[in-house]
Amino acid sequence: MSVPGSGSRHFSPDPAPGPGRGVVAITAAAPERAADPAASDNAVELEGITKRFPGVVANKDISFAARRGTVHAIVGENGAGKSTLMKILYGVQRPDEGTIRVDGREVHLNSPSDAIDAGIGMVFQHFQLADNFTVLENVVLGAEKLHGIGDGARREIRRISEAYGLDVDPDALVEDLGVGARQRIEILKVLYRGAKVIILDEPTAVLVPQEVDELFDNLRELKSEGLTVLFISHKLDEVLSVADTITVIRRGTTVDTVDPASVNARQLAELMVGAELPTPQTEESTVTDRVVLRTEDLVLAGVGDGRNVLDGISLTIHAGEVLGIAGVEGNGQAELVEVIMGMREPTSGLVFLGDTDISDWRTREIREAGVAYIPEDRTRHGLLLEAPLWENRILGHQTEEPNAKGFLINAAGAKADTERIVKEYDVRTPSIFVTAGSLSGGNQQKLIVGREMSHEPKVLVASHPTRGVDVGAQASIWDIIRKARRDGLAVLLISADLEELIGLSDTIQVLLRGRLTGTFDPDTVTAEDLGAAMTGAAAPAAHAGAPTSDAQTSDVQTSDVQTSDVQPSEAQPSDVQPSEAPAGDGSTAPPAVAPPTDHTGDAEESR
């Protein structure tokens, strides 16, 4: 039984034309949020949903009801069964037991088109848009029968866009649009197909805080129009702020359904993991004055005569210090890491490990010299998915003990050490002979972290170390980073998780369009301040006012336009501390630099 690529499903021709088909008129259900959960009030009801795979119960007796006109959040660890549940709701998989009711009527969803017919639409985490198509073309693709592909469709898109405050221009080219706008197109696509229940799978994973706020405004608009949103997320603060009801899933079953007003993030997380939860707070400072990793004026030229991808990056990390780099993805973080790791030659500038100039060293020499590396994308850069765990333990340390003996691979040594890593770092696996690809993300990451910490590193370069891992693995990876810091490593931490950055770092620097544009003290900075600095936006207030007005377009692009007119050093929040890194020297922390005033970066940003 193969799971069809959910991607193609979105484009499958829609057999049943006509809007509002088969769905109880929305106007009937006025958004009375406090109403009793009477059956007719529920847009979607699941009862006793059970799904077994050979030997595994993915979902067991899942029951919850989402009231019409609400945002219903579903939270749970990775692997808790959320995605199976969503696949069942979207008709990709059929439950073995249990019933699904939409508007009180029992439905059998055998395919995504059944789900669409029943008024259920899904917005995937990874957008399914053709970049070289216009918004209109993307929306009508696979739904050509509904309103044609011309003016009728354009009118309908405009109508939906206005009705729900999505602010989507049907004739814009998708490749010109930012992430936030693309997400709104995805939502519009679903609405266009007549969905009354919208499933959003980890919708905020790709957004910066300001865009998240905009998305939440959109969601409120949707529910006020009587639509129902199923919101799947890890990020508990967001769930708490946007959801009307929260259902927690743990180990494949619904643990509890709670009212966000009655719980805090911590209690919610404990419900998710079923255990006491650690936080990413570091202990007292362990920063020393011994410089371990230093870069001097690193420049990486862009393609052609575009702006520099890295522009004068000078940073210093001391033993026992965690330097956090905040930034919207695509502002040079990946390139900075690749330059430091020797995977990319900088156009100019130097990298020092201790007192040694390692600018010309190759990746292998750098890793042998004690630079541990947790790559941003573990499946592309950190693992051989088709190779067994013990071979993955060798990867990156092919020349080092216990993996090698002279020019030979020491399979026995590597296997024994893999057993040790599996035990010490709590990698959940039946054996070290299974392929890395068969482990869950968290266990893959624990294997990588264990491997990297097994060669007495001096430096740890950690790129998004807890991205896509479950809460349990996240906690133990945080512990490992804290221990590395105590043990006197210099840690370069790059993360999109601002809470993680603030919690673990001794210093936070913001990378914007290839430049370090600000230094923040994690003890005083807030996520909003960082978010503003990351987008180059003046103040968080810039977008807050008008949820449905034109200001909604403010993706990164628009905020760029705004900032270039504002004097950034004034406009930035008061937490910016020019050249006041703890235990750092002035030269390492450039004062809040004005972002470049040219707009060449826009295309990059919107990717």
Partner 1 sequence: MSTFNARKALLGLAAPLLALLVAFLVTSAILLALGDPVVEVWQTILSWPRPRQFVQIINGATVYYLSAIAVAVGFRMNLFNIGVDGQYRVAAFAGALFAGQAWFPGPLNVLLTLVVAMATGGMWAGIAAYLKVKRGVSEVISTIMLNAIATGVVQWLLLKVAVKQQGSNTISTPPIPESSQLDGLAIVPGASNKVYTLLLLAIVVGVAYWFFIGKTRFGFDLRATGRSETAAVASGVKVPRMVVSTLVISGALAGLIGMPLLFGQDHSYGTTFQAGLGFAGIGIALLGRNHPLGIAVAALLWSFLDVQSNALQIKAGVASEVVFIIQGVILFAVVIAYELIRRADVRLEQQRVARELAGTRSDAPSVEGAAA
Q: Where along the sequence are the contacts to partner 1 (CB under 8 A)? A: 2, 53-57, 251, 273-278, 341, 343, 362-368, 373, 375, 380-387, 391, 394-399, 404, 407-409, 411, 424-426, 428-431, 433-435, 437-439, 472, 475-476, 479-480, 483
Please, are residues 578 and 546 in contact by the beta-carbon 8 Å criterion? no
The β-bridge partners of 325 are 494, 509
Q: How far is the CB of 603 from partner 1 (least distance, A)?
A: 24
Give 3-state DSSP helix, strand, coil % of the chain, rounded to 5.
Answer: 35, 20, 45
Q: How far is the CB of 404 from partner 1 (least distance, A)?
A: 6
Structure-token pair, residue 315: 């940073």
Q: How far is the CB of 188 from partner 1 (least distance, A)?
A: 34
Determine the residue type at 538.
A
Residue 281, number of CB atoms within 10 A of its CB = 11
Residue 521, number of CB atoms within 10 A of its CB = 17
- Please, which residue, 68 or 82, has the CB nearer to partner 1? 82
Q: How far is the CB of 381 from partner 1 (least distance, A)?
A: 4
Structure-token pair, residue 151: 């003016």
- Please, which residue, 260 or 472, has the CB nearer to partner 1? 472
Q: DSSP for 371-394?
A: EEEE-SSIIIII--TTSBHHHHHH
Structure-token pair, residue 86: 């969503």
Structure-token pair, residue 339: 């330059």
Element (H, E) at 553: none
| Burial class, 539, CB count within 10 angstroms (exposed 0-12 / middle 13-18 / buried 19+) | middle
- Please, which residue, 375 or 568, has the CB nearer to partner 1? 375
d(CA 177, CA 179): 7
- Please, which residue, 159 or 362, has the CB nearer to partner 1? 362
The β-bridge partners of 508 are 324, 520
Q: How far is the CB of 384 from partner 1 (least distance, A)?
A: 4
How do strand 348-353 and strand 356-357 relate by DSSP bridges? Answer: antiparallel
* CB-facing half-sphere around the CA of 186: CA atoms within 13 A: 25
- Please, which residue, 426 or 580, has the CB nearer to partner 1? 426
Q: How far is the CB of 475 from partner 1 (least distance, A)?
A: 6
Q: How far is the CB of 48 from partner 1 (least distance, A)?
A: 20
Read off φ and ψ for residue 372, nearest 5 degrees.
Answer: -85, 145
CA angle at residue 9 from 101 to 112, to 5 degrees? 15
- Please, which residue, 59 or 572, has the CB nearer to partner 1? 59
* CB-facing half-sphere around the CA of 299: CA atoms within 13 A: 10
- Please, which residue, 382 or 518, has the CB nearer to partner 1? 382
Q: How far is the CB of 346 from partner 1 (least distance, A)?
A: 16
Read off φ and ψ for residue 45, nearest 5 degrees.
Answer: -135, 130
The β-bridge partners of 245 are 72
Q: How far is the CB of 385 from partner 1 (least distance, A)?
A: 7
Q: How far is the CB of 222 from partner 1 (least distance, A)?
A: 35
| Burial class, 551, CB count within 10 angstroms (exposed 0-12 / middle 13-18 / buried 19+) | middle
- Please, which residue, 245 or 429, has the CB nearer to partner 1? 429
Q: How far is the CB of 111 from partner 1 (least distance, A)?
A: 20
Q: How far is the CB of 344 from partner 1 (least distance, A)?
A: 10
- Please, which residue, 192 or 373, has the CB nearer to partner 1? 373
- Please, which residue, 60 or 101, has the CB nearer to partner 1? 60
Q: DSSP for 435-487?
A: BGGGS-HHHHHHHHHHHHGGG--SEEEEESTTTT--HHHHHHHHHHHHHHHHT
- Please, which residue, 69 or 457, has the CB nearer to partner 1? 457
Give every CB contact of residue 353 below 8 A, 6+ residues apart in sequence: 292, 293, 366, 369, 370, 371, 458, 459
- Please, which residue, 438 or 564, has the CB nearer to partner 1? 438
d(CA 473, CA 278): 11
